[in-house]
């Protein structure tokens, strides 16, 4: 009978130790959940960076091969125009106030 009690006590202690390791020890359930969320966040970030890299690679390819991309960039960033073209710049006068919207009509 005493041996059975010692074995039962040993098994209960072993179960308690295993439960402690499962919930609080290294590689616990909480730690696994946290690592899984970090992996998901890293995957999302990697996907965004991969899309950005693909867009940049396409832009580099266009700049190397196409004249249209170079022309568009020269026009927008450097303000260049083709020979024979006339450049028009429309500038609004900041001192002229914009017209006020009509006042709502109140009915009694």
Q: What is the pLDDT of residues 40-54, one digit of tens each?
A: 999 999 999 999 999
Enter the tokens of residue 32. Answer: 């696994």
Average pLDDT over residues 33-62: 93
Task: Spell out the residues 6+ positions from residue 68 whose beta carbon is closer than 8 angstroms to its own.
Answer: 62
pTM reported for the whole predicted model: 0.43
Tell me which DSSP letter residue 96 carries.
S
């Amino acid at each position: 009978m005493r041996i059975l009690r010692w074995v039962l006590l040993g098994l209960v202690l072993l179960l308690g130790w295993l439960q402690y390791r499962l919930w609080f020890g290294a590689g616990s359930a909480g730690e696994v959940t946290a690592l899984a969320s970090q992996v998901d966040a890293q995957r999302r970030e990697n996907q965004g960076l991969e899309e950005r890299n693909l867009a940049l690679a396409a832009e580099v390819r266009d700049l190397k091969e196409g004249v249209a991309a170079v022309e568009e960039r020269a026009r927008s960033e450097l303000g260049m125009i083709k020979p024979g073209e006339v450049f028009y710049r429309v500038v609004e006068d900041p001192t002229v106030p914009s017209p006020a919207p009509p006042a709502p009509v109140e009915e009694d």
